[in-house]
Amino acid sequence: MMRQFELVERVLAYNPNADEALLNKAYVYAMLKHGMQTRASGDPYFAHPLEVASILTELKLDDATIVVALLHDTIEDTDATRQEIDQMFGSEIGTIVEGLTKIDRLNLVSKEKAQAENLRKLLLAVSKDVRVLLVKLADRLHNMRTIEYVKEEKKQRIAQETMDIYAPLAGRMGMQDMRSELEDISFKILQPQNYAAITNRMAELENSSKKAIEIISKELEQKFTQEGIKAQVSARIKSPWSTFAKIERESISLEMLSDIIGFRVIVENIEDCYSTLGVVHTSWQVVPGRFKDYISVPKHNDYRSIHTTIVGPGRQRVELQIRTCEMHRIAEYGIAAHALYKDNVSENLKRLEQESKAYAWLRSTIDHLTDSNYPEEFLEYTKLELFQDQVFCFTPLGRLIALPRGATPIDFAYAVHSELGDICVGAKINGSLVPLTTKLFSGAEVEIIVDQNHTLPASIEGIAATGKARAAIRKTVRLAEQKRTISLGDQMLLAILHDEGLEFGDDEINKLAQEMEQENRQELAENIGLGVITSEDLAKCAAVFKGVHRVSSKKINLPIARTADGWFALKSSDRFRFRVPRGQGGNEKSQLLDSDTEVKISPEGLVPGDRIVGIMTKEKLITIYPIHSEALVDYHNNDVRWIDVRWDILTVEKRYHKVAISMLAQNKPGMLAKISSLIAQRDANIHNMVLHQASPDFHKLIIELELTNLPQLVDVINSLKADPSISKVNRASIIEARTIKNIDWNMNNPTQQIKKNK
């Protein structure tokens, strides 16, 4: 275990102005607080925070960060308090220590929701002070180094979480050495056989290549010296995990990899980088397609270097990385290479965001993702941002947009501006019109085609590859659905008040909303639209608010009979029975009502359990509508009677009922097969189907289903919504579903699935 003076000397070696007294006090305080605590290995627990501090000294971090490393487990695992740490070490250190403690209080490796919430907390804390991340990564690295003492099941979970979150996060912060070590340890735990095979084979290759490495290094150095370039040439071995990942990704053998052993050339300045490249390319044959200039276009994690592959000495393929000393330092330490914590923290954070693309990316990602109320989505989107490699595209005006590999024009549009993504309807790549599903490639000029009246389909989310785009799409779709619900609910609110003969001004409606424990009229309307507040509840509360008795002003004769519980049973067919509250159907004293009013079912179709409403026109025609019917909007300002109608559930027969649903589905092979399979798995039957092309990328389907009840319908709709290639799944009109009789079920060619009636 490292002794106190050794830790202080390490910090002073790179920071002579470090606060020795503060470091000594933190060392003693943490050691006393952890006392006789031990780790799973049997070592004193204090060895862990001490090793975390040691890792951070290798990154040459400020003394405050080293102190946080020593104290990071004290609040969680000892009797130390935030107040005590503030008093002894200052509020800045206390804030970081408490931030790390709050993150650890959730069991990171239990459930995905807890993991997602913990990641959110971590990134929020990091957005305020990046040192939280640096300590957390060092903490995870030491835990992985000693993970052999953990039980096997827990070991697997921790390794998977490290591979999913912490290693990619270290990579996105430019800390490649730390990322590689985290990945390799996790790889060894998760896939021990593959790890052993890769490492054994790489050891053999390294052994057999020693002489070749010496020859290549010597010849490179001689060439650079002849050209007057001061360069340090060194060989490096690719990490086991990155080697395995490339073999899996490209489906090739280990022997086919050209970059297991690479050479790093470090020069003095950027001009020498390009001079070195010129020497290499004029001296040896270049391997086509293997040149990348990350100096001109740096990666998101601030990585800058020139990569090229040549057929070098001995006809061997040699990968070269050419960079300056400063680029090499950032490549090794990443965001930790920015020593910005000497004076004002807030000012340094602003400087860091300006100087570091990695930190700017992190804060931008947090801004886009943390407003989600769904932790699982946050985890999904953040993983998308962490894992992807990059492609570089341009706007028509020449602005460079960096995106993950596999990104589409939708991602490009949202990267330019969220409003552009919301109205994107098409795209051109290098002047040619392409589907929105097209994968972008580096160097492409992308022009986004927009329509201000465009309604964003939820299925677009399945096309997007970036977390930013997916989060924005999900948010926009939710807001659109909420807006529609509020609009419908507000119309129902006014109709019910009018039906009750009650006059309410805008201020009174807001007061009524508060009486009903709603924040305002908008929230009241939304809950009416969602069915949380029933028309009966609203009518009662409105009457009490006005201080009036509820007496129906209109008498309606319906073909229904009064039942013992004060309701009237309405029979519109042999399949449906409904009930109307006493007082709506006519005079409360009526024993038997007239039967001169016709009752019909709306074209949407009904399923027992639907929330329903009756609309009575002047012609004494009552049509029963589901509460979600868009047709109800048209009755808002019309002279009609809204009737509270409910199912007489006890008399409803258990039989199949027809109901239609509509959806947008991606235009790709096998979609109809997938949709029919999802429906069949819920024991529902497809009675009829209409399909037409809504755009080059999507088809609109209207399907008439046969099922028994509302829960079964909800199950079908939810299963379809869960598929990312299907969106806008809603109830539809049965009339629409019956406009085409014959369907050609060619599942593998969705553009030729329909035979229209002639």
How high is the pLDDT of residue 70? Answer: 95
- How many angstroms separate the CA atoms of 552 and 583, rounded? 6
Q: Which of 19, 20, 43, 77 is catalytic?
A: 77
Whether the Cβ atoms of residue 298 and residue 392 lie closer than 8 Å to each other: no
Residue 402 has pLDDT above 70, yes or no: yes
* DSSP secondary structure code for residue 440 in this structure: P
Residue 661 has pLDDT above 60, yes or no: yes
- How many angstroms separate the CA atoms of 685 and 688, rounded? 9
Mark whether 76 is an active-site residue: yes
How high is the pLDDT of residue 444? Answer: 83
How high is the pLDDT of residue 553? Answer: 38
How high is the pLDDT of residue 455? Answer: 72
Cα→Cα distances 120→111, 165, 550, Å: 14, 12, 51
Whether the Cβ atoms of residue 657 and residue 667 lie closer than 8 Å to each other: no
CB-count exposure of residue 87 (10 Å: 0-12, 13-18, 19+): exposed
How high is the pLDDT of residue 386? Answer: 55
Whether the Cβ atoms of residue 69 and residue 10 lie closer than 8 Å to each other: no
Residue 51 has pLDDT above 70, yes or no: yes
How high is the pLDDT of residue 631? Answer: 76
How high is the pLDDT of residue 111? Answer: 52
Identify the band that residue 750 occupies on the pLDDT scale cut at 50, 70 and 90: very low
Residue 140 has pLDDT above 90, yes or no: yes
CATH number of 198-335: 3.30.460.10
How high is the pLDDT of residue 74? Answer: 92
pLDDT winner (highest mean) among 193-202, 351-360, 605-614:
193-202
The sign one gets for the Cα dihedral 314, 320, 326, 330 is: negative
Q: What is the pLDDT of residues 335-393, one digit of tens each?
A: 777 654 444 445 555 566 556 666 666 666 666 555 555 555 566 556 555 555 667 78
The sign one gets for the Cα dihedral 715, 720, 722, 727 is: negative
Whether the Cβ atoms of residue 659 and residue 605 lie closer than 8 Å to each other: yes
Identify the band that residue 121 occupies on the pLDDT scale cut at 50, 70 and 90: low
Identify the band that residue 580 occupies on the pLDDT scale cut at 50, 70 and 90: low
Identify the band that residue 278 occupies on the pLDDT scale cut at 50, 70 and 90: very high
Q: Which two tokens stand for residue 228?
A: 């007057």
Distance of CA 207 to the CA centre of its chain: 45
Query: Which one has a higher pLDDT value, 350 or 22?
Result: 22
What average pLDDT does the segment 205-214 reach?
82
Residue 561 has pLDDT above 70, yes or no: no
Identify the band that residue 624 occupies on the pLDDT scale cut at 50, 70 and 90: confident
What ranges in 356-417 are assigned the alpha helix state H? 357-369, 375-387, 409-416
How high is the pLDDT of residue 630? Answer: 73
Distance of CA 489 to the CA centre of its chain: 30
Q: In what order do the strands lie in the sheet with 621-626?
A: 598-601, 621-626, 612-616, 641-644
What average pLDDT does the segment 33-39 reach?
90
Residue 677 has pLDDT above 50, yes or no: yes
How high is the pLDDT of residue 557? Answer: 41
Q: What percent of the chain has pLDDT over 90?
A: 19
How high is the pLDDT of residue 578? Answer: 66
How high is the pLDDT of residue 237? Answer: 82
How high is the pLDDT of residue 560? Answer: 47
- How many angstroms separate the CA atoms of 70 and 97, rounded? 10
Q: Which residues pair with 265 in a beta bridge?
A: 233, 322
Q: Which of 74-83, 540-549, 593-602, 608-617 has the lowest mean pLDDT?
A: 593-602
Bridge pairing between strands 698-707 and 742-743 = unpaired
First to last CA, the chain: 86
Q: Does domain 4-195 have CATH number 2.60.120.1440?
A: no
Mark whether 77 is an active-site residue: yes
Number of other residues whose CB lies within 10 A of the CB of residue 251: 7
* DSSP secondary structure code for residue 445 in this structure: B
Kindly report each contact of residues 745-751 with a partner whose C-beta sits within 8 Å and lies 24 or more positions away, as own/partner.
Answer: 745/672, 747/669, 747/670, 747/672, 747/673, 748/669, 748/670, 749/669, 750/667, 750/668, 750/669, 750/671, 750/672, 750/691, 750/699, 751/667, 751/693
Same fold, 4-195 and 657-755: no
The sign one gets for the Cα dihedral 649, 653, 656, 660 is: negative
pLDDT winner (highest mean) among 57-61, 165-169, 348-352, 481-485:
57-61
Q: Which of 20, 43, 76, 376 is catalytic?
A: 76
How high is the pLDDT of residue 10? Answer: 92
Cα→Cα distances 599→571, 583, 592, 611, Å: 8, 19, 17, 17
How high is the pLDDT of residue 299? Answer: 82
What average pLDDT does the segment 259-267 reach?
85
Tell which residue, 276, 262, 267, has the closest CA to residue 309: 262
Identify the band that residue 108 occupies on the pLDDT scale cut at 50, 70 and 90: very low
Q: Which two tokens stand for residue 25?
A: 């006090």
How high is the pLDDT of residue 555? Answer: 37
How high is the pLDDT of residue 56? Answer: 92
- How many angstroms separate the CA atoms of 656 and 677, rounded? 19
Kindly report each contact of residues 110-119 with a partner whose C-beta sits within 8 Å and lies 24 or more positions away, as own/partner.
Answer: 112/376, 112/379, 113/375, 113/376, 115/161, 115/165, 115/379, 116/375, 116/376, 116/378, 116/379, 117/375, 119/165, 119/378, 119/379, 119/382
Query: Which one has a higher pLDDT value, 694 or 48?
Result: 48
- How many angstroms separate the CA atoms of 356 and 304, rounded? 12
Residue 252 has pLDDT above 50, yes or no: yes
Q: Which of 16-20, 367-371, 532-536 has the lowest mean pLDDT?
A: 367-371
- How many angstroms separate the CA atoms of 284 and 263, rounded? 15
How high is the pLDDT of residue 634? Answer: 73
Please state which of the four CATH numbers 2.60.120.10, 3.30.70.260, 2.30.40.10, 3.20.20.450 is assigned to the domain occupying 657-755: 3.30.70.260
Segments making up each domain of the chain, as ranges: 4-195, 198-335, 477-546, 560-651, 657-755
Q: Which two tokens stand for residue 501?
A: 């003969």
Residue 273 has pLDDT above 90, yes or no: yes
For 351, the enclosing helix (H) or strand (E) is helix 345-355
Computed over every residue of the chain, the mean pLDDT equals: 78
Q: Which residues pair with 569 in a beta bridge?
A: 561, 579
How high is the pLDDT of residue 68? Answer: 93
Q: Which of 50-54, 283-287, 643-647 has the lowest mean pLDDT?
A: 643-647
For 358, residues 6+ apart whose C-beta sits below 8 A from its C-beta are 172, 173, 174, 300, 301, 302, 334, 335
Residue with tokens 């005006």: 397
Q: What is the pLDDT of residues 708-728, one digit of tens each?
A: 877 788 888 888 887 878 888
Identify the band that residue 259 occupies on the pLDDT scale cut at 50, 70 and 90: low
Mapped onto helix, strand or coil, the DSSP state of residue 700 is strand
